[in-house]
Chains A and B, each alone.
Chain A
Protein backbone atom coordinates (compact mmCIF):
# COMPACT_ATOMS: atom_id res chain seq x y z
CA UNK A 1 0.00 0.00 0.00
CA UNK A 2 2.54 2.54 1.17
CA UNK A 3 4.92 0.93 -1.27
CA UNK A 4 2.93 1.89 -4.34
CA UNK A 5 2.24 5.33 -3.01
CA UNK A 6 5.93 6.08 -2.72
CA UNK A 7 6.60 4.69 -6.18
CA UNK A 8 4.07 6.94 -7.79
CA UNK A 9 5.91 10.01 -6.66
CA UNK A 10 9.26 9.14 -8.03
CA UNK A 11 11.03 11.55 -10.31
CA UNK A 12 9.92 10.08 -13.61
CA UNK A 13 6.22 10.13 -12.88
CA UNK A 14 6.19 13.59 -11.42
CA UNK A 15 7.98 14.75 -14.53
CA UNK A 16 5.32 13.35 -16.81
CA UNK A 17 2.51 15.01 -14.91
CA UNK A 18 3.64 18.40 -16.11
CA UNK A 19 3.14 17.60 -19.75
CA UNK A 20 -0.55 16.76 -19.76
CA UNK A 21 -1.05 18.44 -23.10
CA UNK A 22 -0.61 16.03 -25.98
CA UNK A 23 -1.98 12.78 -24.71
CA UNK A 24 -4.29 13.84 -21.92
CA UNK A 25 -7.34 12.88 -23.96
CA UNK A 26 -7.01 9.17 -23.42
CA UNK A 27 -8.92 7.83 -20.43
CA UNK A 28 -5.72 6.22 -19.23
CA UNK A 29 -3.85 9.48 -18.84
CA UNK A 30 -6.83 11.19 -17.25
CA UNK A 31 -6.81 8.45 -14.66
CA UNK A 32 -3.08 8.93 -14.23
CA UNK A 33 -3.52 12.68 -13.81
CA UNK A 34 -6.20 12.11 -11.19
CA UNK A 35 -4.07 9.71 -9.19
CA UNK A 36 -1.15 12.08 -9.42
CA UNK A 37 -3.30 14.97 -8.28
CA UNK A 38 -4.54 13.04 -5.28
CA UNK A 39 -1.01 11.86 -4.53
CA UNK A 40 0.20 15.44 -4.58
CA UNK A 41 -2.54 16.52 -2.27
CA UNK A 42 -1.48 13.91 0.24
CA UNK A 43 2.05 15.24 0.35
CA UNK A 44 0.87 18.42 2.07
CA UNK A 45 0.20 17.33 5.62
CA UNK A 46 -3.10 18.61 6.95
CA UNK A 47 -4.19 18.99 10.53
CA UNK A 48 -6.47 15.94 10.51
CA UNK A 49 -4.13 13.63 8.70
CA UNK A 50 -1.45 12.01 10.84
CA UNK A 51 2.05 12.88 9.74
CA UNK A 52 4.02 10.36 7.76
CA UNK A 53 7.65 9.84 6.94
CA UNK A 54 8.70 8.98 3.41
CA UNK A 55 11.70 6.75 3.24
CA UNK A 56 13.66 5.61 0.20
CA UNK A 57 15.50 2.47 1.22
CA UNK A 58 17.82 -0.04 -0.39
CA UNK A 59 16.22 -3.32 -1.41
CA UNK A 60 18.20 -5.28 1.20
CA UNK A 61 16.25 -3.41 3.88
CA UNK A 62 12.84 -4.36 2.52
CA UNK A 63 12.15 -6.91 5.25
CA UNK A 64 14.13 -5.43 8.15
CA UNK A 65 12.84 -1.88 7.73
CA UNK A 66 9.23 -3.02 7.57
CA UNK A 67 9.66 -4.46 11.06
CA UNK A 68 11.49 -1.36 12.26
CA UNK A 69 8.69 0.81 10.87
CA UNK A 70 6.05 -1.30 12.56
CA UNK A 71 7.76 -0.84 15.93
CA UNK A 72 8.18 2.88 15.20
CA UNK A 73 4.54 3.29 14.26
CA UNK A 74 3.43 1.50 17.41
CA UNK A 75 5.56 3.81 19.51
CA UNK A 76 4.90 7.15 17.84
CA UNK A 77 1.74 6.69 15.76
CA UNK A 78 3.63 8.06 12.78
CA UNK A 79 3.30 6.11 9.56
CA UNK A 80 6.38 5.29 7.53
CA UNK A 81 5.95 4.99 3.77
CA UNK A 82 8.69 3.10 1.95
CA UNK A 83 10.03 2.97 -1.54
CA UNK A 84 12.44 0.08 -1.87
CA UNK A 85 14.77 -0.30 -4.81
CA UNK A 86 18.29 -0.47 -6.07
CA UNK A 87 20.32 2.12 -4.16
CA UNK A 88 21.68 3.68 -7.35
CA UNK A 89 18.19 4.01 -8.75
CA UNK A 90 16.84 5.67 -5.60
CA UNK A 91 19.81 8.05 -5.39
CA UNK A 92 19.12 9.05 -8.97
CA UNK A 93 15.47 9.74 -8.23
CA UNK A 94 16.37 11.85 -5.20
CA UNK A 95 18.87 13.81 -7.29
CA UNK A 96 16.06 14.46 -9.75
CA UNK A 97 13.76 15.83 -7.08
CA UNK A 98 11.89 12.84 -5.64
CA UNK A 99 10.25 13.72 -2.35
CA UNK A 100 11.68 11.73 0.51
CA UNK A 101 12.43 12.57 4.11
CA UNK A 102 15.08 9.93 4.55
CA UNK A 103 17.35 7.94 2.28
CA UNK A 104 18.81 4.69 3.56
CA UNK A 105 21.47 3.66 1.09
CA UNK A 106 23.08 0.25 0.85
CA UNK A 107 26.40 1.96 0.32
CA UNK A 108 27.74 5.14 1.84
CA UNK A 109 28.91 6.46 -1.55
CA UNK A 110 25.32 6.87 -2.72
CA UNK A 111 24.49 8.85 0.42
CA UNK A 112 27.39 11.11 -0.53
CA UNK A 113 25.94 11.44 -4.03
CA UNK A 114 22.61 12.84 -2.84
CA UNK A 115 24.40 15.14 -0.39
CA UNK A 116 26.57 16.48 -3.21
CA UNK A 117 23.49 17.22 -5.30
CA UNK A 118 22.04 19.24 -2.43
CA UNK A 119 18.95 17.10 -1.97
CA UNK A 120 19.97 15.76 1.43
CA UNK A 121 21.67 17.18 4.50
CA UNK A 122 25.31 16.08 4.89
CA UNK A 123 25.27 16.86 8.60
CA UNK A 124 22.74 14.06 9.15
CA UNK A 125 24.71 11.33 7.38
CA UNK A 126 25.17 8.37 9.71
CA UNK A 127 26.16 4.75 9.35
CA UNK A 128 23.40 2.44 10.47
CA UNK A 129 24.49 -1.02 9.47
CA UNK A 130 27.04 -3.09 7.68
CA UNK A 131 25.69 -5.65 5.27
CA UNK A 132 26.87 -9.18 4.60
CA UNK A 133 26.45 -11.28 1.51
CA UNK A 134 25.48 -14.94 1.33
CA UNK A 135 25.29 -17.68 -1.26
CA UNK A 136 21.62 -18.66 -1.38
CA UNK A 137 20.32 -21.93 -2.80
CA UNK A 138 16.78 -23.23 -3.00
CA UNK A 139 15.97 -26.12 -0.66
CA UNK A 140 14.72 -28.47 -3.37
CA UNK A 141 17.73 -27.94 -5.61
CA UNK A 142 19.12 -31.33 -6.52
CA UNK A 143 22.68 -30.12 -6.09
CA UNK A 144 24.91 -29.57 -3.07
CA UNK A 145 24.97 -25.94 -2.08
CA UNK A 146 28.31 -24.16 -2.50
CA UNK A 147 30.55 -24.10 0.57
CA UNK A 148 32.46 -21.02 -0.50
CA UNK A 149 32.64 -18.43 -3.25
CA UNK A 150 35.40 -20.44 -4.94
CA UNK A 151 32.94 -23.34 -5.24
CA UNK A 152 30.87 -21.29 -7.70
CA UNK A 153 33.34 -22.20 -10.45
CA UNK A 154 32.10 -25.79 -10.26
CA UNK A 155 30.05 -26.86 -13.25
CA UNK A 156 27.10 -28.03 -11.17
CA UNK A 157 26.20 -24.36 -10.94
CA UNK A 158 24.91 -23.49 -14.40
CA UNK A 159 23.49 -20.06 -13.72
CA UNK A 160 24.32 -17.71 -10.87
CA UNK A 161 22.52 -14.47 -10.10
CA UNK A 162 24.01 -11.35 -8.59
CA UNK A 163 22.60 -7.83 -8.30
CA UNK A 164 23.84 -5.53 -11.06
CA UNK A 165 27.31 -4.49 -9.87
CA UNK A 166 27.02 -1.26 -11.82
CA UNK A 167 24.56 0.26 -9.41
CA UNK A 168 23.66 -2.23 -6.66
CA UNK A 169 26.09 -2.32 -3.71
CA UNK A 170 25.44 -5.99 -2.93
CA UNK A 171 26.25 -6.82 -6.54
CA UNK A 172 29.51 -4.87 -6.26
CA UNK A 173 30.41 -6.88 -3.15
CA UNK A 174 29.53 -10.12 -4.94
CA UNK A 175 31.82 -9.23 -7.81
CA UNK A 176 34.64 -8.31 -5.41
CA UNK A 177 34.25 -11.59 -3.54
CA UNK A 178 34.47 -13.62 -6.73
CA UNK A 179 37.51 -11.66 -7.84
CA UNK A 180 39.14 -12.18 -4.46
CA UNK A 181 38.40 -15.90 -4.65
CA UNK A 182 40.00 -15.99 -8.10
CA UNK A 183 36.88 -17.30 -9.86
CA UNK A 184 35.51 -14.12 -11.48
CA UNK A 185 36.57 -15.04 -15.01
CA UNK A 186 35.23 -18.59 -14.69
CA UNK A 187 31.95 -17.56 -13.14
CA UNK A 188 31.28 -14.51 -15.31
CA UNK A 189 29.74 -16.44 -18.26
CA UNK A 190 27.24 -18.03 -15.85
CA UNK A 191 26.11 -14.75 -14.35
CA UNK A 192 22.75 -13.14 -14.73
CA UNK A 193 22.03 -9.76 -13.25
CA UNK A 194 19.10 -8.75 -11.08
CA UNK A 195 18.01 -5.13 -11.04
CA UNK A 196 18.33 -5.18 -7.27
CA UNK A 197 19.13 -7.70 -4.59
CA UNK A 198 15.51 -8.77 -4.19
CA UNK A 199 15.03 -9.61 -7.84
CA UNK A 200 18.33 -11.46 -7.65
CA UNK A 201 16.91 -13.62 -4.87
CA UNK A 202 13.74 -14.15 -6.89
CA UNK A 203 15.76 -15.73 -9.72
CA UNK A 204 16.93 -18.39 -7.25
CA UNK A 205 13.54 -18.77 -5.55
CA UNK A 206 11.88 -19.51 -8.88
CA UNK A 207 14.59 -22.09 -9.59
CA UNK A 208 16.00 -20.23 -12.56
CA UNK A 209 19.50 -20.01 -11.13
CA UNK A 210 21.25 -22.52 -8.90
CA UNK A 211 22.79 -19.87 -6.66
CA UNK A 212 22.07 -16.22 -5.93
CA UNK A 213 24.42 -13.94 -4.06
CA UNK A 214 22.17 -11.81 -1.91
CA UNK A 215 22.03 -9.85 1.32
CA UNK A 216 22.11 -11.82 4.57
CA UNK A 217 19.25 -9.59 5.75
CA UNK A 218 16.98 -11.18 3.14
CA UNK A 219 18.34 -14.73 3.36
CA UNK A 220 17.87 -14.82 7.12
CA UNK A 221 14.09 -14.47 6.85
CA UNK A 222 13.23 -15.91 3.48
CA UNK A 223 12.05 -19.48 3.68
CA UNK A 224 12.66 -22.33 1.28
CA UNK A 225 16.42 -22.05 0.97
CA UNK A 226 19.82 -22.53 2.54
CA UNK A 227 22.63 -20.03 2.67
CA UNK A 228 26.35 -19.83 3.26
CA UNK A 229 27.85 -16.64 4.61
CA UNK A 230 30.58 -15.11 2.45
CA UNK A 231 33.69 -14.19 4.43
CA UNK A 232 33.74 -10.48 5.03
CA UNK A 233 37.43 -10.25 4.12
CA UNK A 234 36.57 -11.16 0.52
CA UNK A 235 34.88 -7.87 -0.27
CA UNK A 236 34.94 -4.23 0.70
CA UNK A 237 32.67 -3.61 3.68
CA UNK A 238 29.10 -2.84 2.66
CA UNK A 239 28.84 0.19 4.88
CA UNK A 240 25.29 1.40 4.74
CA UNK A 241 24.53 5.00 5.57
CA UNK A 242 21.37 7.00 5.90
CA UNK A 243 20.82 10.69 5.39
CA UNK A 244 17.90 13.05 6.02
CA UNK A 245 16.52 14.75 2.93
CA UNK A 246 14.66 18.02 2.65
CA UNK A 247 12.28 17.67 -0.30
CA UNK A 248 9.82 15.34 1.40
CA UNK A 249 8.59 18.19 3.58
CA UNK A 250 9.00 16.32 6.85
CA UNK A 251 12.74 16.38 7.56
CA UNK A 252 12.04 16.33 11.30
CA UNK A 253 10.15 13.09 10.84
CA UNK A 254 13.01 11.70 8.77
CA UNK A 255 15.44 12.59 11.51
CA UNK A 256 13.22 11.02 14.15
CA UNK A 257 12.87 7.74 12.26
CA UNK A 258 16.63 7.71 11.67
CA UNK A 259 17.29 8.01 15.38
CA UNK A 260 14.79 5.23 16.03
CA UNK A 261 16.74 2.96 13.66
CA UNK A 262 19.85 3.47 15.78
CA UNK A 263 17.99 3.30 19.11
CA UNK A 264 18.12 0.15 21.24
CA UNK A 265 14.76 -0.99 19.83
CA UNK A 266 15.81 -0.34 16.24
CA UNK A 267 19.17 -2.02 16.67
CA UNK A 268 17.57 -5.12 18.15
CA UNK A 269 15.46 -5.53 15.03
CA UNK A 270 18.34 -4.81 12.66
CA UNK A 271 20.54 -7.31 14.52
CA UNK A 272 17.85 -9.95 14.11
CA UNK A 273 18.16 -9.51 10.34
CA UNK A 274 21.88 -10.14 10.39
CA UNK A 275 23.16 -6.60 10.02
CA UNK A 276 26.42 -5.72 11.72
CA UNK A 277 25.70 -2.56 13.67
CA UNK A 278 27.88 0.49 14.19
CA UNK A 279 30.12 -0.18 17.19
CA UNK A 280 29.75 -3.94 16.90
CA UNK A 281 32.33 -5.56 14.72
CA UNK A 282 31.56 -9.25 14.51
CA UNK A 283 28.59 -11.12 13.22
CA UNK A 284 28.17 -14.69 14.34
CA UNK A 285 28.05 -17.15 11.49
CA UNK A 286 24.61 -18.74 11.45
Chain B
Protein backbone atom coordinates (compact mmCIF):
# COMPACT_ATOMS: atom_id res chain seq x y z
CA UNK B 1 0.00 0.00 0.00
CA UNK B 2 1.32 3.40 -0.96
CA UNK B 3 0.86 6.11 1.62
CA UNK B 4 2.60 8.94 -0.11
CA UNK B 5 -0.07 9.71 -2.74
CA UNK B 6 -2.71 9.71 -0.01
CA UNK B 7 -0.77 12.12 2.16
CA UNK B 8 -0.12 14.29 -0.86
CA UNK B 9 -3.83 14.26 -1.69
CA UNK B 10 -4.73 15.26 1.86
CA UNK B 11 -2.21 18.07 1.77
CA UNK B 12 -3.35 19.33 -1.63
CA UNK B 13 -7.03 19.07 -0.70
CA UNK B 14 -6.48 20.87 2.61
CA UNK B 15 -4.73 23.83 1.02
CA UNK B 16 -7.30 23.93 -1.77
CA UNK B 17 -10.08 23.88 0.82
CA UNK B 18 -8.57 26.70 2.85
CA UNK B 19 -8.39 28.84 -0.28
CA UNK B 20 -11.86 27.94 -1.55
CA UNK B 21 -13.40 28.46 1.89
CA UNK B 22 -12.22 32.05 2.18
CA UNK B 23 -12.68 32.99 -1.48
CA UNK B 24 -15.91 31.02 -1.73
CA UNK B 25 -17.64 32.61 1.26
CA UNK B 26 -16.51 36.05 0.14
CA UNK B 27 -17.91 35.44 -3.33
CA UNK B 28 -21.10 33.98 -1.89
CA UNK B 29 -21.56 37.06 0.29
CA UNK B 30 -21.09 39.27 -2.77
CA UNK B 31 -23.67 37.27 -4.73
CA UNK B 32 -26.11 37.07 -1.83
CA UNK B 33 -25.96 40.68 -0.66
CA UNK B 34 -24.90 42.98 -3.45
CA UNK B 35 -26.75 43.92 -6.58
CA UNK B 36 -24.42 44.65 -9.43
CA UNK B 37 -24.57 44.21 -13.19
CA UNK B 38 -23.56 40.73 -14.26
CA UNK B 39 -24.27 39.19 -10.88
CA UNK B 40 -26.05 36.13 -12.25
CA UNK B 41 -23.51 35.87 -15.06
CA UNK B 42 -20.77 35.67 -12.43
CA UNK B 43 -22.72 32.92 -10.69
CA UNK B 44 -23.00 31.02 -13.96
CA UNK B 45 -19.27 31.34 -14.65
CA UNK B 46 -18.46 30.12 -11.16
CA UNK B 47 -20.81 27.17 -11.55
CA UNK B 48 -19.48 26.15 -14.97
CA UNK B 49 -16.67 23.91 -13.63
CA UNK B 50 -19.33 21.70 -12.04
CA UNK B 51 -20.82 20.81 -15.39
CA UNK B 52 -17.95 21.06 -17.88
CA UNK B 53 -16.28 17.80 -18.86
CA UNK B 54 -13.03 17.51 -16.87
CA UNK B 55 -11.08 17.27 -20.11
CA UNK B 56 -12.49 20.57 -21.36
CA UNK B 57 -11.91 22.22 -18.02
CA UNK B 58 -8.42 20.74 -17.81
CA UNK B 59 -7.61 22.03 -21.26
CA UNK B 60 -8.77 25.54 -20.37
CA UNK B 61 -6.67 25.48 -17.23
CA UNK B 62 -3.64 24.11 -19.09
CA UNK B 63 -3.89 26.92 -21.61
CA UNK B 64 -4.72 29.58 -18.99
CA UNK B 65 -1.94 28.87 -16.50
CA UNK B 66 0.44 26.87 -18.73
CA UNK B 67 4.05 27.87 -19.18
CA UNK B 68 3.24 29.81 -22.36
CA UNK B 69 0.37 31.74 -20.78
CA UNK B 70 0.62 35.23 -19.29
CA UNK B 71 -0.16 34.01 -15.78
CA UNK B 72 2.06 30.95 -15.98
CA UNK B 73 4.90 32.89 -17.58
CA UNK B 74 4.78 35.64 -14.96
CA UNK B 75 4.71 33.10 -12.14
CA UNK B 76 7.66 31.23 -13.62
CA UNK B 77 9.72 34.39 -14.06
CA UNK B 78 9.05 35.36 -10.44
CA UNK B 79 9.48 32.00 -8.73
CA UNK B 80 11.64 30.09 -11.18
CA UNK B 81 9.15 27.23 -11.23
CA UNK B 82 6.16 26.66 -13.45
CA UNK B 83 2.58 26.57 -12.19
CA UNK B 84 1.66 23.46 -14.12
CA UNK B 85 3.38 20.20 -13.13
CA UNK B 86 3.87 21.41 -9.55
CA UNK B 87 2.10 21.00 -6.26
CA UNK B 88 0.72 24.51 -6.67
CA UNK B 89 -0.78 23.37 -9.96
CA UNK B 90 -2.32 20.35 -8.24
CA UNK B 91 -3.87 22.68 -5.64
CA UNK B 92 -5.33 24.84 -8.41
CA UNK B 93 -6.74 21.74 -10.09
CA UNK B 94 -8.28 20.59 -6.81
CA UNK B 95 -9.68 24.03 -5.97
CA UNK B 96 -11.41 24.63 -9.29
CA UNK B 97 -13.88 21.79 -8.82
CA UNK B 98 -14.49 22.62 -5.17
CA UNK B 99 -15.04 26.37 -5.54
CA UNK B 100 -18.56 26.25 -7.03
CA UNK B 101 -19.69 23.78 -4.37
CA UNK B 102 -18.63 26.18 -1.63
CA UNK B 103 -20.10 29.24 -3.35
CA UNK B 104 -23.43 27.55 -4.10
CA UNK B 105 -23.90 26.25 -0.57
CA UNK B 106 -22.74 29.43 1.11
CA UNK B 107 -24.88 31.68 -1.10
CA UNK B 108 -27.98 29.60 -0.40
CA UNK B 109 -27.24 29.60 3.32
CA UNK B 110 -26.64 33.35 3.47
CA UNK B 111 -29.75 34.11 1.44
CA UNK B 112 -31.82 31.88 3.70
CA UNK B 113 -31.05 33.98 6.77
CA UNK B 114 -34.10 36.10 7.59
CA UNK B 115 -33.23 39.71 6.60
CA UNK B 116 -35.39 40.90 9.52
CA UNK B 117 -32.83 39.48 11.95
CA UNK B 118 -30.01 41.39 10.29
CA UNK B 119 -32.17 44.50 10.21
CA UNK B 120 -32.96 44.07 13.90
CA UNK B 121 -29.27 43.88 14.70
CA UNK B 122 -28.75 47.08 12.73
CA UNK B 123 -31.50 48.93 14.68
CA UNK B 124 -29.79 47.86 17.88
CA UNK B 125 -26.73 49.73 16.75
CA UNK B 126 -24.60 47.07 15.04
CA UNK B 127 -22.65 48.23 11.99
CA UNK B 128 -22.96 46.26 8.74
CA UNK B 129 -19.80 44.28 9.44
CA UNK B 130 -20.81 43.46 13.00
CA UNK B 131 -24.31 42.46 11.92
CA UNK B 132 -22.78 40.17 9.33
CA UNK B 133 -20.26 38.50 11.60
CA UNK B 134 -22.45 38.19 14.71
CA UNK B 135 -25.84 37.47 13.13
CA UNK B 136 -25.85 36.50 9.48
CA UNK B 137 -22.68 34.42 9.26
CA UNK B 138 -23.35 32.32 12.41
CA UNK B 139 -26.90 31.62 11.26
CA UNK B 140 -25.65 30.49 7.87
CA UNK B 141 -22.73 28.53 9.29
CA UNK B 142 -24.32 25.06 8.99
CA UNK B 143 -24.81 25.44 5.26
CA UNK B 144 -21.43 27.02 4.74
CA UNK B 145 -19.60 24.26 6.59
CA UNK B 146 -21.52 21.65 4.63
CA UNK B 147 -20.42 23.35 1.40
CA UNK B 148 -16.81 23.53 2.53
CA UNK B 149 -16.84 19.85 3.46
CA UNK B 150 -18.29 18.91 0.10
CA UNK B 151 -15.61 21.05 -1.47
CA UNK B 152 -12.94 19.19 0.46
CA UNK B 153 -14.31 15.86 -0.70
CA UNK B 154 -14.37 17.12 -4.27
CA UNK B 155 -10.76 18.35 -3.99
CA UNK B 156 -9.63 15.05 -2.58
CA UNK B 157 -11.17 13.20 -5.49
CA UNK B 158 -10.22 15.41 -8.40
CA UNK B 159 -8.94 13.41 -11.33
CA UNK B 160 -9.54 15.03 -14.70
CA UNK B 161 -8.03 18.46 -14.24
CA UNK B 162 -5.16 17.08 -12.17
CA UNK B 163 -4.41 14.53 -14.88
CA UNK B 164 -4.29 17.24 -17.50
CA UNK B 165 -2.18 19.86 -15.75
CA UNK B 166 -0.21 18.23 -12.94
CA UNK B 167 1.92 15.82 -14.96
CA UNK B 168 1.46 12.80 -12.67
CA UNK B 169 4.91 13.17 -11.09
CA UNK B 170 5.40 10.55 -8.35
CA UNK B 171 5.99 12.20 -4.99
CA UNK B 172 5.19 15.63 -6.35
CA UNK B 173 1.86 15.77 -8.15
CA UNK B 174 0.77 12.14 -8.25
CA UNK B 175 -2.29 12.41 -6.03
CA UNK B 176 -4.16 9.38 -4.75
CA UNK B 177 -6.71 9.39 -7.55
CA UNK B 178 -3.94 9.43 -10.16
CA UNK B 179 -1.91 6.81 -8.28
CA UNK B 180 -4.97 4.55 -8.10
CA UNK B 181 -5.52 4.94 -11.82
CA UNK B 182 -1.88 4.17 -12.62
CA UNK B 183 -1.77 1.20 -10.27
CA UNK B 184 -4.86 -0.34 -11.85
CA UNK B 185 -3.57 0.20 -15.40
CA UNK B 186 -0.26 -1.39 -14.44
CA UNK B 187 -1.96 -4.42 -12.87
CA UNK B 188 -0.98 -3.45 -9.34
CA UNK B 189 -4.49 -3.63 -7.89
CA UNK B 190 -3.13 -4.49 -4.51
CA UNK B 191 -1.38 -1.11 -4.27
CA UNK B 192 -4.61 0.61 -5.19
CA UNK B 193 -6.89 -1.16 -2.73
CA UNK B 194 -5.71 0.62 0.42
CA UNK B 195 -6.04 4.03 -1.19
CA UNK B 196 -9.44 3.12 -2.61
CA UNK B 197 -10.65 2.10 0.84
CA UNK B 198 -9.37 5.26 2.54
CA UNK B 199 -10.86 7.56 -0.12
CA UNK B 200 -14.19 5.75 -0.06
CA UNK B 201 -14.51 5.86 3.71
CA UNK B 202 -13.54 9.55 3.78
CA UNK B 203 -16.11 10.40 1.12
CA UNK B 204 -18.89 8.52 2.88
CA UNK B 205 -18.02 10.03 6.26
CA UNK B 206 -18.05 13.53 4.79
CA UNK B 207 -21.41 13.00 3.10
CA UNK B 208 -22.84 11.67 6.35
CA UNK B 209 -21.69 14.73 8.28
CA UNK B 210 -22.96 17.04 5.55
CA UNK B 211 -26.40 15.43 5.74
CA UNK B 212 -26.40 15.81 9.53
CA UNK B 213 -25.48 19.47 9.21
CA UNK B 214 -28.23 19.99 6.65
CA UNK B 215 -30.85 18.32 8.84
CA UNK B 216 -29.92 20.31 11.93
CA UNK B 217 -29.99 23.70 10.26
CA UNK B 218 -33.41 25.00 9.39
CA UNK B 219 -32.02 28.14 7.84
CA UNK B 220 -30.67 26.17 4.93
CA UNK B 221 -33.02 24.98 2.29
Contact = CB atoms under 8 A, between A and B. Distances in A.
B66 A166 contact: no
Contacts of B204: none
A191 B169 contact: yes
A171 to B, nearest CB: 11
B122 to A, nearest CB: 41
A137 B63 CA distance: 18
A208 B66 contact: yes
Nearest to A193: B168
Interface stretch (B23-31, B106-114, B180-188): B180-188
- Taking residues whose C-beta sits less than 8 angstroms from the other chain, chain A's interface range is 20 to 34
Given A192-B168, A195-B163, A206-B66, A159 B185 contact: no
A11 to B, nearest CB: 11
A86 B167 CA distance: 15
Interface string A189-209: 001111100010001001111
Interface in A201-220: 203, 206-209
B184 A207 contact: no
A166 B185 contact: yes
A240 interface: no
Nearest to A93: B185
Contacts of A191: 169
The listed residue with most A CB atoms (<10 A of its CB), out of B63, B66, B82, B185, is: B185
Nearest to B182: A166
Contacts of A199: 164
A226 to B, nearest CB: 17
A71 B184 CA distance: 35
A186 to B, nearest CB: 16
A161 interface: yes
Interface string A14-54: 00000000000000000000000000000000000000000
Given A88-B185, A92-B184, A208-B84, A164 B168 contact: yes
B167 A192 contact: yes
Contacts of A247: none
A179 interface: no
B85 A166 contact: no
A192 B62 CA distance: 14
B68 A193 contact: no
Given A161-B167, A192-B168, A208-B85, A167 B67 contact: no
Given A92-B187, A193-B168, A167 B182 contact: yes
A89 interface: yes
A161 B166 CA distance: 12
B161 to A, nearest CB: 13
A194 B169 CA distance: 10
Interface of A: 86, 88-89, 92, 113, 158-159, 161, 164, 166-167, 191-195, 199, 203, 206-209
Interface of B: 62-63, 66-68, 82, 84-85, 163-164, 167-169, 182, 184-187
Given A92-B187, A164-B182, A166-B182, 10 more contacts: A92-B184, A92-B185, A158-B82, A159-B167, A166-B185, A167-B182, A192-B85, A193-B169, A195-B163, A208-B66
10 contacts: A88-B185, A92-B184, A113-B187, A161-B167, A166-B186, A192-B168, A199-B164, A203-B167, A207-B68, A208-B85
